[in-house]
């Protein structure tokens, strides 16, 4: 686009005007399309008590900070910056995902109703005769659980909270010989707690239900390799990979139920509970003595998981 303006001493000066909307064929609609924030919900229903990572439930093309909230029959854990959902026994749970604005993507809020699947409590096997045999589902198959049962992760249930908590209801310990296909004889590995002299923010939980949060904080905040929290966090069994290093009180419950669980050494086991920047809590399985020790010491490791 051209225009003329009056210049110095009456001379005409040619001015070239370029409309921004004609540059390179770029339009407002194409810019909006390139920066649109999308959310893909991958799950629409779960069975009561089923636990799943929030990252597996919904994904987005934006790297903006994600904030989760819920209403209805489900539990998000940990309570601060949740990463997992446990389905309740009610009809449904409504999830809300808020994604913060970034330099490339706008903010977005998306909601999804997760309905509860009907979960059968029994399996009926009909033989060739007219007799019908009903077989109750085991704890490992999604049935009712009690301390001493084999859990969904192939370990042994050692704690029952009595009702669903923010972290779940049951705790199961990995099987004896957990690093060798649960052979029942391979001894537990030994490792350092790690990061001697460095305080790990968020790893000071002592009570039941805080071991997973402690482990996440250690794995994310400590750069030492091969440490106790890494061994527990890396474990997977029966396709379940949500194992962690137990907290101080969770470890004590393991000590109480060590005969039912099986395969323990009489020496010390690490918990995920930090005491100070130089020390963390451990427990002897010979007499139940608990104390803190320097993080560079090597003690035994046995992962647990909640469900």
Identify the band that residue 130 occupies on the pLDDT scale cut at 50, 70 and 90: low
Asked if the model's pLDDT at residue 182 lies above 80, the reply is: yes
Which two structure tokens, joined as six digits, stand for 116?
A: 């509860």
CB atoms within 10 A of CB 283: 21
Which two structure tokens, joined as six digits, stand for 47?
A: 């069975």
* Residue, of 85 and 118, whose pLDDT is higher: 85
CA 280/CA 56 separation, integer angstroms: 33
CA 305/CA 216 separation, integer angstroms: 13
**Helices (H), ranges, the chain:** 28-35, 54-57, 211-221, 228-234, 248-256, 258-261
**Cβ contacts of residue 110 below 8 Å, gap of 6+?**
39, 41, 58, 96, 97, 99
Identify the band that residue 18 occupies on the pLDDT scale cut at 50, 70 and 90: very low
Mean pLDDT of 274-292: 97
CATH number of 39-117: 2.60.40
Asked if the model's pLDDT at residue 279 lies above 90, the reply is: yes
Q: What is the pLDDT of residue 57?
A: 94
Asked if the model's pLDDT at residue 147 lies above 90, the reply is: yes
Asked if the model's pLDDT at residue 227 lies above 90, the reply is: yes
Q: What is the pLDDT of residue 7?
A: 44
Identify the band that residue 9 occupies on the pLDDT scale cut at 50, 70 and 90: very low
Q: Which residue has the tokens 């020496």?
A: 267
Query: Among 42-56, 121-135, 203-217, 279-293, where is mean pLDDT lowest?
Result: 121-135
The whole-chain average pLDDT of the chain stands at: 87
Q: What is the pLDDT of residue 91?
A: 86
Q: What is the pLDDT of residue 188?
A: 98
Q: What is the pLDDT of residue 21?
A: 41
| CB 50 within 8 Å of CB 86 | yes
Asked if the model's pLDDT at residue 183 lies above 50, the reply is: yes
pTM summary value: 0.62
* Residue, of 259 and 51, whose pLDDT is higher: 259
CA 90/CA 112 separation, integer angstroms: 16
Asked if the model's pLDDT at residue 26 lies above 60, the reply is: no
Mean pLDDT of 91-111: 91
Asked if the model's pLDDT at residue 134 lies above 80, the reply is: no
Identify the band that residue 119 occupies on the pLDDT scale cut at 50, 70 and 90: low
Mean pLDDT of 156-178: 97
| CB 84 within 8 Å of CB 179 | no
Q: What is the pLDDT of residue 235?
A: 97
Identify the band that residue 47 occupies on the pLDDT scale cut at 50, 70 and 90: confident
Long-range contacts of 155-159 (CB under 8 A, 24+ apart): 155/237, 155/261, 155/304, 155/305, 156/257, 156/260, 156/261, 156/262, 158/253, 158/254, 158/256, 158/257, 158/260, 158/261, 158/304, 159/208, 159/250, 159/253, 159/257
% of residues, the chain, pLDDT over 70: 84
| CB 282 within 8 Å of CB 290 | yes
Portions of the chain given CATH number 2.60.40: 39-117
Identify the band that residue 116 occupies on the pLDDT scale cut at 50, 70 and 90: confident
């Amino acid at each position: 686009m051209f225009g003329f303006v009056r210049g110095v001493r009456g001379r005409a000066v040619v001015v070239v005007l370029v409309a921004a909307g004609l540059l390179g064929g770029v339009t407002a609609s194409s810019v909006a399309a390139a920066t649109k924030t999308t959310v893909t919900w991958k799950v629409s229903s779960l069975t009561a008590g089923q636990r799943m990572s929030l990252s597996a439930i919904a994904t987005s093309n934006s790297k903006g900070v994600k904030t989760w909230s819920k209403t209805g029959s489900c539990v998000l854990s940990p309570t601060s910056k949740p990463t997992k959902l446990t389905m309740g026994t009610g009809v449904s749970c409504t999830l809300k995902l808020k994604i913060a604005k970034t330099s490339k993507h706008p903010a977005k809020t998306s909601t999804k109703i997760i309905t509860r699947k009907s979960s059968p409590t029994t399996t009926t096997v009909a033989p060739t005769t007219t007799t019908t045999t009903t077989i109750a589902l085991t704890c490992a198959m999604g049935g009712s659980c009690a301390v001493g049962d084999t859990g969904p992760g192939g370990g042994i249930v050692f704690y029952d909270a009595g009702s669903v908590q923010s972290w779940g209801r049951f705790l199961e310990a990995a099987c004896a010989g957990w690093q060798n296909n649960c052979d029942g004889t391979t001894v537990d590995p030994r490792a350092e707690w790690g990061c001697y002299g460095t305080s790990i923010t968020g790893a000071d939980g002592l009570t039941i239900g805080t071991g997973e949060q402690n482990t996440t904080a250690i794995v994310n905040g400590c750069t030492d390799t091969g440490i106790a929290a890494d061994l527990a966090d890396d474990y997977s069994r029966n396709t379940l990979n949500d194992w962690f290093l137990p907290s101080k009180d969770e470890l004590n419950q393991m000590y109480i139920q060590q005969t039912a669980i099986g395969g323990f050494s009489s020496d010390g086991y690490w918990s995920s509970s930090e005491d100070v920047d130089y020390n963390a809590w451990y427990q002897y399985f010979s007499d139940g003595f608990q104390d803190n020790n320097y993080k560079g010491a090597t003690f035994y490791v046995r992962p647990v998981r909640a469900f």
